[in-house]
Each structure stands twice: as structure tokens, then as C-alpha cells.
Amino acid sequence: MHIPVPLPAAPVSWQRWLVPRSSDWMPAFLYVGVLLDYVVLHHSTLYRWQTLLVVGALAVLAGLERWEHWRYGEQAPMRLRQLMFAINLLLIEVVAQISFTGIGSFLYLILPLKAWLAFGRGAGYMTAAGVMALYVAKTGLAATQLEVPIEQLISGCIMFGTAIAFVLTISHLATRDRLDRERAEQLLDLVARSHRDLERSHDELAVYAAQVADLAAVAERNRVARDIHDSLGHYLTAITIQLEKALAFHEKDRQESQRSVQTSRRLAQEALTDVRHSVGLLRSQHGSFSLASMLHDLAAYGIDGQPNVAVHIAGEETAYTLELRMVLYRAAQEGLTNIRRHAQAQHAWVDVRFDDTCATLTVSDDGVGFDPVRYEAATRDQTAGYGIQGLRERVALIGGSLEIVRAHDCGTLLTVVLPSAAAGRAQPAEAAWATR
């Protein structure tokens, strides 16, 4: 049994007074029919007070319906619905008692409809049974007094019973209509809330997009800073050393000084070529990269063979992504640059091994090494060299590891291990090389 649950309601616009519900039409037609029967056809047989009472009762019935609908819609409180039903019952009985033709009794048909809509289907059926019994009793009493034939009495009861069945059908349809209307209102409210949520999400996405753009700009600046250090920093270091050597040998050995100047010029040209090559790759999104060739070129940048750099590569590098090989190249570049700056080494070794599970790079030398305590402190405080810091970031991005230790006898050992699974996280080869 469906019993409406009242919800808090507030007065709405006055236009609601004029908007009829599907359940309003039948009572309206009955009010008009009874009014025409009393006032137009039988006004001469009624006392004036009877006419006024009938008109007033019908006006109050219609007015109360419109007021309840305007004030509460479908959510009238239970006590108000009970009071309204009692008032309807009283006024309908008043009009029916004044009836001379019996048409006023048809106002009883409104009561099952009101009970169904106000209290549920069970109340509607019980009210319909009560109204039918009341009609049969009143009609039978009147027929006895007026000596109406039994056939006419039965015919009237059948017609009234048919009307009650019709009213119950209307009540069922009106209930479905009300439920559909409530669902439609809920859907409209849901759509409105969804629209507001969508607007709020759109605003949040705009904020997030701005934050992502800022983060992307920061990431790009960091990448450019790493590339400048890893590429140009290496060349500029070698050029600086060659120029210092040229100044030192300017008076002692002019030929040696001239060779250092020529080497500096060659390194500057190579740096310019490297920059142009990187810019060209960035524009065209195409390029090729050979780690073996790049490492041998890197080893040849030594100064008068100091330190002597030996390169050894085991395995097939093409089985690994370009992103991973670029990280290995930058690691070797950073390691050799630091050896040439600080190690005072005679020899350096670059070893690369590619196998099925990982790629391993080691850069070692026979130089003076470093102080592990100071290095660990600098690493914790993030005050270590920017090149090492940038290299750690590169390695971490693809899930690798970087370790720098002091060798047992002398020198430094840099080890980079990159898992082959990093290939799935790396950028496509052409795009990755083009972004370096």
C-alpha cells in the first residue's frame, strides 16, 4: 500500500493555483454538474438558504482543493489530509441531504478518490465500500418511502457501483501520474545537481590543468638544465682545461700551446655541432643514436691521453630502448667529466653490459678518490654536484639505481643499473632521443 511520506514544503508561486492535476478533473465536473442541477433546474423548488448553502459548500470544496495544492502540492501533512477529508465528507453530506433528484449523492464518488490519494490504496477501497453501502441504504430507504420499483433500485445501484469502479481506476491512474511526476521532479533535481557538480568539476579541472602546466614547465626547465650540464658542461670543461694548458705552455712550448688552442677550437666546434644536432632532432622528431659510438667519442675527448679511457661494451644495445641508452650515455659523460676535473687519474674505464634482465654501466679510475664521509653528508643535504643530482633524477625516472663508492685501492667507482622492464616505461625511441 502506497502512503505518501510528507516532506517539508514551502509556498510556491501563485501560478500553481491555476495548474490542475489529473485527479482534479473528476471532482470539478461533479461540482459543476451538481451546481447546474440545483441552481439552474431546481432553483424554484429550493429555499434561498438552501441555494446559498449548496453554492457555498461547492465553492468551499473547490477552494480547499486549490489551496491545499497551492500550499503543499503533493506533500500535505497527515493531520491536514485527515482534516481535509473530514471537511469534504461533511460538506458532501450536506449537499446530498438537500438533494431532491439524488444527483447530489454522486458527490460521494469524490471520497474514494480523496482517500486513495491521501491515505493509500487500502483506504481508497474501504472508503469505496462504505460509500457503496451508504448509497444502497439511502436509495433503498428512499425507494421504500416513494414506492420505487425494485428494478429501478437495482439499476441505480449497478450504475453507482460502475461509477465507483471507474473512480477507483482513476485513483490508480492519478497515483501513477503523481509518482511519475515526483520521479520527474527528482530527476530534474538530480540533473540540476549534476550540472552544478559538473561546473564545479570543470572549475577544478581548470585549476588542475593550470597546476599541471606549471609542473610541466618546471619539469621542462629541469630537463633543459640537466641537458645543458650534461652536454655543454662536458665540452666547456675540456675547453677550459685546454685553454689553461695553452696559457701555461705559451712561453715554454709554443707548439704545445698551439695544439691546445686547436684542441679547444675543435671541442668548441663539436659542442656547437652537438647543440645544433639536438635542436634539429627536437624540430624533426627523428634521429639515430649509437651508444658504442658516442662512448668512444666521449673517451677521445681526453687531454693528451690523460686519462687514458678504455671502453668495453658487452651485449646488444639495440635490444634496449633509446631512453635507457641515453641515460647510460649521460652517466658515462658525467663520470668522465668528474674524473677529468678532480680525479688526477692516469687511467679510466667505461664498461657497459647488456643482458636479459638489466643494463649495467661502470665508470672507474685510478685517481685520488674522494672522502666518503663528506660525500654522504653532501648527498643527504642535497649539496652534491648538480651533475650527480641530475643523473640521480634521470636514473630514478626509469626505476634504476646509482651508486658511487671509493675503490679499495684507489680511485672512484660509479655504477648505474637500469632494469630491462624500464623499457615499458620509457618513451618511444624517436621521441625520447628528440627530447634530449
Task: Give the model's pLDDT for residue 273.
Answer: 66
Residue 426 pLDDT = 42
Domains along the chain?
A: 14-148 (no CATH), 290-436 (3.30.565.10)
pTM for the model: 0.41
Helix H, strand E, coil C: the string for the chain is CCCCCCCCCCCCCHHHHHCCCHHHHHHHHHHHHHHHHHHHHCHHHCCHHHHHHHHHHHHHHHHHHHHHHHHHCCCCCHHHHHHHHHHHHHHHHHHHHHCCCCHHHHHHHHHHHHHHHHHCHHHHHHHHHHHHHHHHHHHHHHHHHHCCCHHHHHHHHHHHHHHHHHHHHHHHHHHHHHHHHHHHHHHHHHHHHHHHHHHHHHHHHHHHHHHHHHHHHHHHHHHHHHHHHHHHHHHHHHHHHHHHHHHHCCCCCHHHHHHHHHHHHHHHHHHHHHHHHHHHHHHHCCCCCCHHHHHHHHHCCCECCECEEEEEEECCHHHCCHHHHHHHHHHHHHHHHHHHHHHCCCEEEEEEEECCCEEEEEEEECCCCCCHHHHHHHHHCCCCCHHHHHHHHHHHHCCCEEEEEECCCCCEEEEEEEEHHHHHCCCCHHHHHHCC
Q: What is the pLDDT of residues 344-385, one digit of tens each?
A: 888 999 999 999 899 999 999 988 887 666 666 555 555 455
The mean predicted confidence, pLDDT, of the chain is 77
Q: Using CA atoms, how far apart are residues 223 and 215, in angstroms rounded to an integer?
A: 12
C-alpha grid cell, residue 264 = 679547444
- Is the pLDDT reported for residue 403 higher than 70? yes
For the ranges 29-43, 282-296, 331-345, the maximum mean pLDDT occurs at: 331-345
Asked whether 22 and 173 are in contact (CB, 8 A), the reply is yes
Calculate mean pLDDT across residues 254-269: 85
| pLDDT tens digits, 19-60 | 566 667 778 778 887 777 776 666 666 677 777 888 888 888
What is the per-residue pLDDT for 281?
46
Nearest-angstrom CA–CA distance, 201 and 58: 55
